């Protein structure tokens, strides 16, 4: 049994771009033997799905095709315009991930990244009706970005499962995020010198593996319900 009882499907968003969402998705996908889906992706030829498949070493059955895939490595709304495409929410449909026990859905950048003239990644989350795990940097600026992200999610009554910080450990920032955002920081994932199946599994076990404290086994579920209220 792991420390946290992850829901069967959840959305991973970032406080910004390049905060390590895909690495977090990789270790969670591998550790939970989950499915992975990024409905909107910009930047070809090498996608986040390709990166995760190469580094996690999972079979093709764990990966689901993007709904929208664009060549330009820019914001989704710009990439779509460049290719004369309109991103439409009703075309973004959850894949059937059975018999896998979990599905991890990765966003593009942060909540307010536009996907068209009127909608953002936040609208994608609302459309899919998924709880959200927030990935944040560990360093300077993270308090502001994380508090704003969590606050925006709560304004829309979206359950917040917690925050994962990426980078060198920064206890003061962790404590500040937990205090000002009133959310649990589930892990501070330190940089891996090499990212491969072995190190990803090791990180999952270190941060999300078996808990020696029997009283904290159901902490994730209780925190998710408290902080989504």
The answer, yes or no, to whether residue 223 has pLDDT greater than 90, is: no
The pLDDT of residue 2: 61
For residue range 12-26, what is the model confidence (pLDDT) as tens digits?
999 998 899 999 999
- What are the contacts of 179-186 at 24+ separation with CB within 8 A? 180/143, 180/147, 181/146, 181/147, 181/150, 181/151, 182/150, 182/227, 183/134, 183/150, 183/227, 184/219, 184/223, 184/227, 186/4, 186/133, 186/161, 186/162, 186/220
Please state, in angstroms and as integers, the Cα–Cα distance from residue 12 to each residue in 26, 194, 211, 213, following that order: 11, 23, 23, 27
Q: What is the pLDDT of residues 36-86, one digit of tens each?
A: 999 999 999 999 999 999 999 999 999 999 999 999 999 999 999 999 999
pLDDT 10s digits, 143-181: 999 999 999 999 999 999 999 999 999 999 999 999 999
Sheet harboring 103-106: ordered strands across?
63-64, 35-37, 103-106, 9-14, 132-137, 160-166, 185-189
pLDDT value, residue 5: 85
As beta bridge partners, residue 64 has: 37
Q: What tens digit of pLDDT does each residue of 94-153 get?
A: 999 999 999 999 999 999 999 999 999 999 999 999 999 999 999 999 999 999 999 999
pLDDT tens per residue across span 183-203: 999 999 999 999 999 999 999
Model pLDDT, residue 209: 86
In the chain, DSSP assigns E strands to 9-14, 35-37, 40-42, 63-64, 68-70, 103-106, 132-137, 160-166, 185-189
Mention every residue, 6+ apart, whose C-beta is less than 8 A from residue 180.
143, 147
- Active-site residues: which are they? 38
The DSSP call for residue 106 is E
Percent of the chain with pLDDT over 90: 88
Cα–Cα distance between 47 and 222 in angstroms, integer? 35
Residue-level pLDDT at 226: 34
Buried b / exposed e over 7-46, threshold 16 CB at 10 Å, is bebbbbbbbbeebbbbbbbbbbbbbbebbbbbbbbbeeee
Determine the distance from the C-alpha atom of residue 223 to the mean position of all C-alpha atoms in its chain, rounded to a whole number: 18
Domains of the chain, CATH where assigned: 9-227 (3.40.50.300)
pLDDT band at residue 210 using 50, 70 and 90 as cut-offs? low
Of 130, 126, 189, residue with least CA distance to 161: 130
Q: Which residue has the higher pLDDT, 210 or 141?
A: 141
pLDDT computed for residue 20 by the predictor? 92
Q: pTM, whole model, 2 decimals? A: 0.90
Q: What angle do CA 192, 194, 195 make, to 5 degrees?
A: 80
């Amino acid at each position: 049994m792991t420390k946290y009882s992850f829901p069967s499907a959840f959305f991973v968003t970032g406080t910004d771009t390049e905060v390590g969402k895909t690495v977090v998705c990789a270790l969670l996908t591998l550790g939970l033997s989950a499915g992975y889906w990024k409905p909107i992706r910009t930047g070809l030829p090498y996608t986040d799905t390709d990166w995760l498949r190469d580094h996690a070493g999972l079979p093709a059955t764990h990966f689901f095709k993007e709904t929208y895939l664009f060549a330009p490595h820019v914001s989704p709304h710009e990439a779509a315009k460049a290719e004369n495409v309109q991103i439409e929410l009703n075309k973004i449909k959850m894949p059937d991930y059975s018999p896998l026990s979990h599905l991890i859905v990765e966003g593009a950048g942060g909540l307010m990244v536009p996907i068209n003239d009127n909608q953002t990644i936040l609208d994608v989350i609302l459309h899919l009706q998924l709880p959200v795990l927030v990935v944040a940097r560990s360093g300077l600026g993270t308090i502001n970005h994380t508090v704003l992200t969590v606050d925006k999610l709560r304004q829309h009554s979206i359950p917040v499962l917690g925050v994962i910080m990426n980078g060198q450990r920064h206890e003061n920032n962790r404590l500040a995020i937990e205090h000002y955002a009133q959310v649990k920081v589930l892990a501070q994932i330190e940089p891996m010198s090499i990212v491969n199946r072995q190190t990803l599994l090791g990180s999952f076990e270190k941060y999300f593996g078996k808990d020696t404290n029997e009283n904290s086994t159901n902490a994730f579920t209780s925190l998710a319900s408290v902080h989504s209220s």
